[in-house]
């Protein structure tokens, strides 16, 4: 469980990135943090594993205040996967890359081997075990980065922009994967601009703008609220837009995914027949 | 570490100093440099340091300037300590007034050097600097490499910070272990940084070629540097101060200098 209480944060350059953010993330929740560029999304999640400490206010992870414990200790609980895999890959092989975190956390050798195998399998990277991460494609590198964090099995997983540079097939696999992780009881937080991806996942959505939270609720309640979406420079999913245009025909205003939209349209047609 | 670089970072602003031609400003910085090298006494060195303060105030870069001095202060202390130790040692382990004076003046000399170049870099845009090099008939490829290098320092610093964050999130503890271990802790930071820099330079080269870099042998510039009245005044002042200083130091030779 993560609790943020009136968190303010300013970078040394003077930019005030967070201006009083309060929220509670319960264990086992699935959350998407959305908002315009520079809204403070990444700054906020960097507080969750202690990389950044609030200038004012406080952040607690499982009841422990983040400025009382080391980043390493917090990271073992809260796995943060950065947006760009090139900012972390450095080993000769994918296998060593995945084992890096496990070694840092002091797992015994047999455990390292076991967990590395597990993570390679989980993300379909077994065939690349001995390959240099630098030889892989962008999407594969992203998967290695993800595997290298999931390997130590953190209770909470935070993914910063997981869908960037992924094609549709990979996005769908990622979605399945996230939902599976969440179903296993992990807290999952994604930071993203990808409104269609969020609409397909139905998480709790936290909308940020200019360092503040401007909306917090189910995907259905946030993604069809044109007022707040506009403030955060986000357009609603395309199906929502179409159905809103056609609302006078009797179509619902709170549909965000394709499946439901199909049902609603079929309903309407049946009624009018 | 990065704080020192902060004191060298140019921010666009308007002041008489910002408007000076980079060449005359460079001559001024070099004059201060030469003065600080010529003199040894604590009095003239302090004076050289102090006369730069009005310049800083005119250019309104005092905050950044102080930051670079603070960055240099550590080295100045180190210089003082080394001179002091060596001085005491050669005098047979006695602390003499001379040694204290000499060590202090060496530290002040260092600060005066930093001060002058900090003023130069804080008030001169990288573009102007490149232009000045170009007009000094240095091949454009070198000028371009030079200005690009300066421009990418903050970018690289930002990237280094992100990489450190990413690796700390994977349990890396930079400050842990003995000296050798600590040096080795930086490998996971340096490799992505270097790979990224190389990749970026390749991409940049391609982007440049795509925009017809080097299509013409003789380049022309939209802005051409021209010396104005103020520049001639600065040049004249610098040269005369330098001549007077050399005369005073080597021909008048008062014992305290």
Mutate to test the interface with B, among A72, A87, A141, A157 (most CBs of B within 10 A): A87
User: Is the same domain home to A154 and A82?
Assistant: yes
**Residue A273, pLDDT above cutoff 90:** no
Q: Which ipTM score applies to this complex?
A: 0.89
CB A43 within 8 Å of CB A212: no
B214 in the Ramachandran plot: left (φ > 0), alpha (ψ -120 to 50) or beta? left
A199 Cβ partners below 8 Å, 6+ apart? A219, A223, A237, A239, A240, A256, A257
Interfacial A residues in 133-162 facing B (CB < 8 Å): 134, 148-149, 152
A43: closest CA of chain B, how far (Å)? 11
Q: Give which of B170, B185, B167 is closest to A149, Cα–Cα.
A: B170
Domain residue limits at A166: 2-236
Across the range B79-106, mean pLDDT stands at 86
B61: closest CA of chain A, how far (Å)? 16
**Residue B5, pLDDT above cutoff 60:** no
* Minimum mean pLDDT range among A224-233, B183-192, B215-224: B215-224
**Domain containing residue A220: CATH number:** 3.40.50.300
User: Is the same domain home to A206 and A247?
Assistant: no
Q: Does B66 touch chain A (CB under 8 A)?
A: no
CB A60 within 8 Å of CB A3: yes
User: Is the same domain home to A112 and A244?
Assistant: no
Q: How does DSSP classify residue A128?
A: G
Expressed in angstroms, the distance from the first to the final Cα of chain B is 34
* Strands of A64-65's sheet in order across: A16-25, A2-10, A56-61, A64-65
Q: Which residue has the higher pLDDT, B131 or A97?
A: A97
A80: closest CA of chain B, how far (Å)? 6
Residues from chain A contacting residue B167 (CB–CB below 8 Å): 88
The CA distance from A119 to A99, in Å, is: 10
Residues from chain A contacting residue B170 (CB–CB below 8 Å): 75, 88, 100-101, 104, 148-149
User: Is the same domain home to A220 and A166?
Assistant: yes
**Residue B6, pLDDT above cutoff 70:** no
Our separate counts of H helices and E strands in chain B read 12, 0
Q: Which residue has the higher pLDDT, A34 or B64?
A: A34
| Contact across the interface for A100 and B188, Cβ inside 8 Å | yes
CB A147 within 8 Å of CB A123: yes
Q: How does DSSP classify residue A39?
A: S
User: Is the same domain home to A56 and A153?
Assistant: yes
Of A76, A87, A104, the CB nearest to B166: A87
B116 Cβ partners below 8 Å, 6+ apart? B28, B29, B32, B33, B36, B52
| Contact across the interface for A90 and B173, Cβ inside 8 Å | no
Other CB atoms within 10 Å distance of the CB of residue A95: 21
Q: Does B2 touch chain A (CB under 8 A)?
A: no
| Contact across the interface for B169 and A70, Cβ inside 8 Å | no
**Residue A49, pLDDT above cutoff 60:** yes
User: Is the same domain home to A70 and A204?
Assistant: yes
User: Is the same domain home to A107 and A161?
Assistant: yes
User: Is the same domain home to A76 and A124?
Assistant: yes
| Contact across the interface for B169 and A82, Cβ inside 8 Å | yes
Q: Does B163 touch chain A (CB under 8 A)?
A: yes
| Contact across the interface for A148 and B170, Cβ inside 8 Å | yes
Question: Whose structure tokens read 């300037």?
Answer: B65
CB B61 within 8 Å of CB B122: yes
For A17, counting Cβ atoms within 10 Å of its Cβ (0-12 exposed, 13-18 middle, 19+ buried), the class is buried
Nearest-CA residue of chain A relative to B190?
A90
Nearest-CA residue of chain A relative to B185?
A104
User: Is the same domain home to A230 and A241?
Assistant: no
Of A70, A86, A101, the CB nearest to B170: A101
Of B169, B191, B192, the CB nearest to A75: B169
**Residue B107, pLDDT above cutoff 50:** yes
Per-residue confidence (pLDDT) for residue B1, from 0 to 100: 42
Across the range A152-168, mean pLDDT stands at 91
User: Is the same domain home to A140 and A263?
Assistant: no
Across the range B202-207, mean pLDDT stands at 93
Residues from chain A contacting residue B171 (CB–CB below 8 Å): 72, 75-76, 101, 104-105, 152
Residue B8's pLDDT band, with cuts at 50, 70 and 90, is low
Span A70-129, pLDDT tens digits: 999 999 999 999 999 999 999 999 999 999 999 999 999 999 999 999 999 988 899 999
List % helix, strand, coil for chain B (3-state, nearest 5).
75, 0, 25
**Residue A181, pLDDT above cutoff 90:** yes
User: Is the same domain home to A231 and A255?
Assistant: no
**Residue B14, pLDDT above cutoff 90:** no
CB B122 within 8 Å of CB B7: yes
Q: Does A80 touch chain B (CB under 8 A)?
A: yes
**Residue B187, pLDDT above cutoff 60:** yes
List % helix, strand, coil for chain A (3-state, nearest 5).
45, 20, 30
User: Is the same domain home to A9 and A116?
Assistant: yes
**Residue B255, pLDDT above cutoff 70:** no
B185: closest CA of chain A, how far (Å)? 11
Span A199-258, pLDDT tens digits: 999 999 999 999 999 999 999 999 988 889 998 889 899 989 999 888 888 888 888 888
Phi, psi of A184 (to 5 degrees): -80, 5
| Contact across the interface for B163 and A87, Cβ inside 8 Å | yes
């Amino acid at each position: 469980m993560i609790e943020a209480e009136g968190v303010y944060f300013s970078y040394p350059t003077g930019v005030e990135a967070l201006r009083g953010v309060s929220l509670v993330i319960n264990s086992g929740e699935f959350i998407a943090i959305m908002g315009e560029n520079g809204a403070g999304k990444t700054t906020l999640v960097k507080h969750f594993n202690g990389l950044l400490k609030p200038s004012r206010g406080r952040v607690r992870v499982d009841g422990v205040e983040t400025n009382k414990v080391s980043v390493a200790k917090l990271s073992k609980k809260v796995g943060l996967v950065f947006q760009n895999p090139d900012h972390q890959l450095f080993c000769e092989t994918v296998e060593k890359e995945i084992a890096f975190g496990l070694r840092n956390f002091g797992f015994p050798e047999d455990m390292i081997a076991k967990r590395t195998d597990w993570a390679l399998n989980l993300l379909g990277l077994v065939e690349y075990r001995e390959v240099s991460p630098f030889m892989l494609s962008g999407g594969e590198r992203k998967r290695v980065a993800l595997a290298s964090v999931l390997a130590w099995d953190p209770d909470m997983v935070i993914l910063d922009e997981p869908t960037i540079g992924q094609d549709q097939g990979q996005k769908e696999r990622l979605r399945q994967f996230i939902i599976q992780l969440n179903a296993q009881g992990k807290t999952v937080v994604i930071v993203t601009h990808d409104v269609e991806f969020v609409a397909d996942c139905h998480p709790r959505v936290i909308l940020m703008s200019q360092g503040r939270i401007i909306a917090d609720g189910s995907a259905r309640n946030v993604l069809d609220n044109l007022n707040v979406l506009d403030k955060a420079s986000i357009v609603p999913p395309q199906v929502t837009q179409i159905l809103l245009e056609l609302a006078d025909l009797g179509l619902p205003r709170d549909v965000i995914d394709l499946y439901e939209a199909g049902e609603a349209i079929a309903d309407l047609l049946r009624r009018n027949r | 570490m990065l704080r020192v670089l902060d004191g060298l970072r140019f921010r666009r602003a308007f002041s008489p100093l910002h408007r000076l031609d980079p060449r005359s400003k460079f001559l001024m910085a070099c004059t201060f440099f030469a003065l600080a090298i010529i003199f040894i006494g604590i009095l003239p060195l302090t004076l050289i340091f102090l006369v730069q303060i009005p310049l800083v105030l005119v250019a309104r870069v005092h905050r950044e300037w102080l930051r670079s001095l603070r960055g240099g202060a550590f080295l100045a202390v180190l210089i003082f300590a080394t001179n002091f130790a060596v001085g005491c040692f050669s005098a047979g382990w006695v602390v003499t007034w001379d040694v204290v004076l000499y060590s202090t003046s060496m530290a002040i000399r260092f600060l005066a050097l930093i001060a002058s170049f900090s003023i130069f870099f804080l008030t001169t845009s990288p573009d102007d600097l490149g232009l000045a090099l170009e007009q000094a008939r240095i091949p454009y490829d070198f000028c371009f490499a030079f200005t690009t290098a300066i421009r990418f320092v903050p970018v690289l610093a930002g990237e280094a910070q992100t990489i450190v964050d990413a690796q700390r999130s994977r349990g890396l503890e930079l400050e842990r272990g003995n000296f050798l271990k600590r040096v080795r802790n930086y490998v996971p930071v340096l490799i992505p940084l270097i790979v990224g820099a190389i990749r970026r330079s390749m991409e940049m080269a391609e982007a440049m070629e795509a925009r017809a870099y080097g299509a013409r042998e003789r380049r022309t510039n939209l802005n051409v540097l021209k010396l104005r009245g103020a520049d001639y005044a600065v040049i004249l002042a610098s040269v005369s101060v330098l001549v007077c200083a050399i005369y005073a130091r080597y021909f008048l030779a008062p014992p305290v200098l």
